[in-house]
Every structure is written in structure tokens, then in C-alpha cells.
Amino acid sequence: MLRFLFLLLFALPAVAQKYNAELATPPTGFTWQALPEIKGAMLLPEGWYFKPEGQKDANAYFLTLEEIVEGGEFQTGITINVNRKLKAKTGLAAPNYAKAFSARGGIGPNLELLEKQATVDGPFHKYMVRYRAALPDADPKIIYQLAIGNAKTDTLYTVVFESPEKDWTEAWKLGEVMLKELVLDSRQ
């Protein structure tokens, strides 16, 4: 079957995703982590942890520096949430939901919006927000939030990379590679 590769680019930080792509040899220090329920894959840094959760129409994946224990908390890592048939569940099609979801990112008390971008490539409507969260009684974090709405399949992907602000520069070196090489199936 012929496969297509769609690259959705951002200027800063430069991050793209791949759709319907064959998996290449992973970069040094990474292995491919299959996301079989969504026919996708993501790079997992050596020494990191992977935890899947989900059901028929909704899946969550956690790729984290720290092992997730009772309570589900971690400091550095990526959370991927996938929700299918969004319009039936929420009344909003996936692209509209992605836009509304991202519109709230980085807005509110103790939040500082750092960057916001939107692109459309074929059926994929992609909204990115990067912000600083300095909540009371917690160390500041930088959060990179990406919402992708597939207009063709009505599937919403929310991808969040987060790290303590003091560790952001080093953590983002891994996170950027992970996000750039995220592989999704456009038919899902």
C-alpha cells in the first residue's frame, strides 16, 4: 500500500509529526515504542518508562523519565491522549475541539504564554501552545501542548511534553526529537 508522509512544521520550536510513515532506524539513545491501538509509534529514550492506558475509543500513553507509580505523577515526559468519534461525544468535531482545547492553554493565574501556533495540513488541524506554569507550592514547569484534530476520522490527539523549568533545556533536547518523530496513522 502506498504510504504518504505529511510534515507539519513549526518555526520555533521546529517540530513536525509523520503520518503513515515506515519506521526508520531510531536515533542513538532511542528505541521505537509501538502505540498499537492507534497504529502509531514514538521514540522512547533509553532509561525512560512507558505506560499505556485506555479503552475502545480513548487511549492514553505516558513516556516518562520517572517511573509512574500510584497516583500517576511524573516530572518530565510526554502524555498522549487519543479520543475517537469526538463529535458524537462532545458535539464538536475533532479539529474544532483541538482549537478550543488549545485556546485555553497558557491562560490563567500563574500561567505565562510563551508561544502559540496553528497549522492545517490536509485533514490535520494542529494547534500548539507552549507556556510556563508557576503554580503555588510547586516548582515552575514549561509545558508544550499540541492538539491535532483529524477532520477525516474525527480523532483528537493531545500531546503534552512537560518538564520542570530548571531542567527544560536538557529535557527539551529529548522531547523535541520525540515529538518530531511521532508517527500517527492518518486513517485512525
pLDDT for res 122: 83
Encode the chain (188 residues) as per-residue pLDDT tens digits: 222 222 222 323 334 455 456 788 999 999 999 998 888 899 999 999 999 998 777 899 999 999 988 777 899 999 999 999 999 999 999 999 999 999 988 899 999 999 999 999 888 899 999 999 998 988 999 999 999 999 999 999 999 999 999 999 999 999 999 999 998 876 75
Residue 4 within a domain: no
Residue 8 within a domain: no
Structural domain of residue 145, as residue ranges?
18-184
Between CA 83 and CA 153 the distance in angstroms is 11
Residue 135 within a domain: yes
pLDDT for res 14: 33
pLDDT for res 58: 87
Q: Contact, 96 vs 149, CB < 8 A?
A: yes
Residue 151 within a domain: yes
pLDDT for res 21: 61
pLDDT for res 2: 26
pLDDT for res 22: 75
Question: Which sign, positive or negative, has the C-alpha torsion 7, 10, 16, 20?
Answer: negative
pLDDT for res 4: 28
Residue 1 within a domain: no
Q: What does the DSSP 8-state code read for residue 188?
A: -
Residue 2 within a domain: no
* Interacting residues of 137 by C-beta distance below 8 A, sequence separation 6+: none
Residue 13 within a domain: no
Residue 5 within a domain: no
**CATH number of the domain enclosing 100:** 3.40.1000.10
Number of domains, the chain: 1
Partners of 107 in the beta sheet? Answer: none
pLDDT for res 20: 54
